Amino acid sequence: MRGNILLVEDDKNLGFVIKDFLEMSRFNVLLHENGQDGLNAFHSGKYDLILLDIMLPLLDGYSVAEEIRKLDCEVPIIFITARSMKEDRIKGFRTGADDYITKPFSTEELKLRINAILRRTQNRSGGQSQAVYKFGNHTFDYNNHILQTPSGKIHLTKREAEVLKLLVQNINNVLRREVALKMIWGEDDYFMGRSMDVYITKLRKILKDDPGIRIINIHNTGFKLEVTVPDAD
């Protein structure tokens, strides 16, 4: 098998079609039809990817994703949605989704999206060396998603850690928006860009107490992590 997938979809016909297709593609798929059962299955199993409908009985997809992210900031989540409003997509990314696919869709497109996400996540996790960065009065442990600040330890989400890593690797230089989007999200489009803006805002709040550090916008280009080293006495 190529990986374990948890599929939570309340449309029985669609659920069986997706399950059968992915199993023919050599994935191992567990199907549940409501959010609570899907969340329970996540607690009791180990999965390489989550396929999650938004409109679910008992517990909606947003709530399931939020609960999953409290326990695991790494496992990829793809939302399956009938909604095409950009606000719904942005909300999905804010709750921790890695991608979304809008109904109706082809099973082949779904497989391509799954393969692309698994390829990125496996490349990031395979043979990763220790990565600890120091900037200003902060120490950033990328592998464990921990930022040590003068006031204490902060546990970052997967996306926060990925965005901060790119900023730190380009301290006092411009991080181009399209480069960051392609490296983290795999593509450069409007919805991914809005999602990245959310994480930039979160990181600004986390770093706001250090006057020597700021994340600035470079108009129509990207972002820059400016770190000012205080003069020695």
| CATH superfamily, with its number, for domain 4-125 | Response regulator (3.40.50.2300)
pLDDT for res 122? 64
Listed in order, the ranges of the chain carrying CATH 3.40.50.2300 are: 4-125
Strands in 49-53's sheet, in edge-to-edge order, are 28-32, 4-8, 49-53, 77-81, 99-102
Q: Locate tokens 């959010």: which residue?
A: 35
Partners of 8 in the β-ladder: 32, 52
According to DSSP, residue 97 is labeled -
Is residue 32 within 8 A of residue 7, CB to CB? The reply is: yes
* pLDDT tens sequence across 47-91: 899 999 999 999 999 999 988 887 777 889 999 887 666 777 788
* pLDDT tens sequence across 102-116: 888 888 888 888 988
What region does 145 belong to: left with phi over 0, alpha with psi -120 to 50, or beta? left
- At CA 20, angle to CA 16 and CA 24, rounded to 5? 170
Q: What are phi and psi of 14, to 5 degrees?
A: -65, -40
SS3 of residue 132 by DSSP: strand
Listed in order, the ranges of the chain carrying CATH 1.10.10.10 are: 132-227
User: For domain 132-227, which architecture applies?
Assistant: Orthogonal Bundle (1.10)
Cα gap 80→7, rounded to integer Å = 10
The first and second tokens of residue 136, run together, are 């200003």
* pLDDT tens sequence across 209-232: 888 899 999 988 899 999 986 544
Strands in 222-227's sheet, in edge-to-edge order, are 174-176, 222-227, 213-218
| Range picked from 88-97, 113-122, 170-179 for highest mean pLDDT | 170-179
Q: List Cα–Cα distances, 94 to 31, 73, 77, 198, in angstroms.
A: 25, 13, 12, 7
According to DSSP, residue 210 is labeled -
pLDDT for res 84? 66
Cα gap 161→152, rounded to integer Å = 17
Cα gap 201→217, rounded to integer Å = 11
- SS percent in the chain: helix, strand, coil, step 5: 45, 25, 35
* pLDDT tens sequence across 121-168: 765 554 444 478 888 889 999 888 999 998 889 999 888 998 998 898
Nearest 10 degrees: CA dihedral of 95, 96, 99, 100?
-20
Does residue 8 carry a pLDDT above 50?
yes
Q: At what angle do helices 177-184 and 158-169 cross, to 10 degrees?
A: 140
